[in-house]
Amino acid sequence: MTQELHLHSHGGVGHVSLARPRALHALTHGMCEAMSEALLAWREDSAIEAVIVDHAEGRGFCAGGDVALVRRSALEDGGAAGRAFFHAEYRLNHLLFTYPKPIVAFMDGVTMGGGVGISQPAKFRVATENTLFAMPEGAIGLFPDVGAGWYLPRLPGRVGQFLALTGARLDGAECLWAGLATHYLPSERLAEAKARIVDAPGEIDRILQDLSATPPDARLAGNAEKIDRLFASDRLEDIVAALEADPSDWAAKELKAVTAKCPATAKVALRQFAEGARMTDFADEMRSEYRLASRMMLRPDFAEGVRAVLIDKDNAPRWDPPTPEGVSEEALDAIFAPLPTGEEWSPFPQAT
């Protein structure tokens, strides 16, 4: 685990540093469990006042989770190892969300999938000029997980639905505008920020404010009206029709993005977001997402999506069904249904 993750403390600050640069620090099952173990220990340690989450080197903060493992599991062991991975990852997500001490996540680089799950629960989320944020699960036939069903529908307007259906990539300025980041710092100031936080863990907000810079204009803000209008519906068919009817080049580009993604994933995401927006307990969201993950990983679309994007890299997945109309409400009901007794997800016990 020392090759994949660095865990240490500096005075009153616990430090989680991802260390898989060749994989853009994508999370493995072991990394999730080791992070949780450290966070649980620091939660009970009165000497630890705050936690920093970052990456040790390279251009990614965290590019996601171990989808290759999940695909092998779906094809070889009926999904047992994949479910174990998701259970551990979602426990980590929930632990971060409910953590009683402030967490600072430095999203300096690629922040996708699993990287979203370990950054968005943090009280302080720092974007830089290197930040590249996305939830690209629609391209591999999975769904926006790691708490996305809680975070994305709470973004301004219909931005969350837009991100889920298109896989759009946001830069640091756009993350700040949307509320995905709380601060924008030049990457050259991160080392100073971390050193000052170690020296004064009770003054994180002031330190980050002192070192913040004015970001470039957020392109996403300029498209907000179109996003809210064209992605207004919770029905995928309505969104596709609205994009088809709009004569702008922007709509044509986003229509191409939406229709290239897995239709089942898109429909799952829209229902997931509608339900997640009404939830009041993050544990309920993670319990729902675990049901979705347990089933979506076994659908042929997931193996096919990973093949097309990560294995053969032909980017020509053959979705089944291939159109939104082919994904019935009955099929969605089955994906969202509770799991059998004893198979549901559960969080770590809360601190006493």
d(CA 88, CA 200): 32
Q: Which is the catalytic residue, given 145, 174, 301, 304? A: 145
CA angle 123, 139, 286 (to 5 degrees): 40
Q: Give the amino acid at 294.
A: S
Q: Is 114 an annotated catalytic residue? A: yes
Extract the tokens encoding 99.
């953590």
DSSP E strand boundaries for the chain: 5-10, 13-18, 50-55, 60-62, 103-107, 110-112, 124-127, 132-134, 170-171, 183-184
Residues contacting 171, CB < 8 A, separation 6+: 129, 131, 132, 133, 216, 219
Q: Which is the catalytic residue, given 49, 89, 137, 301? A: 137
d(CA 146, CA 92): 9
d(CA 130, CA 134): 13
Q: Is 326 an annotated catalytic residue? A: no
Q: Give the amino acid at 130.
A: N
Burial classification of residue 129, based on how many CB atoms lie within 10 Å of its CB (0-12 exposed, 13-18 middle, 19 or more buried)? middle
d(CA 243, CA 231): 8
Q: Give the amino acid at 132.
A: L
Burial classification of residue 316, based on how many CB atoms lie within 10 Å of its CB (0-12 exposed, 13-18 middle, 19 or more buried)? exposed
Omega within 30 of 0 (cis) for the link into 144: no
Residues acting as catalytic residues? 65, 114, 137, 145
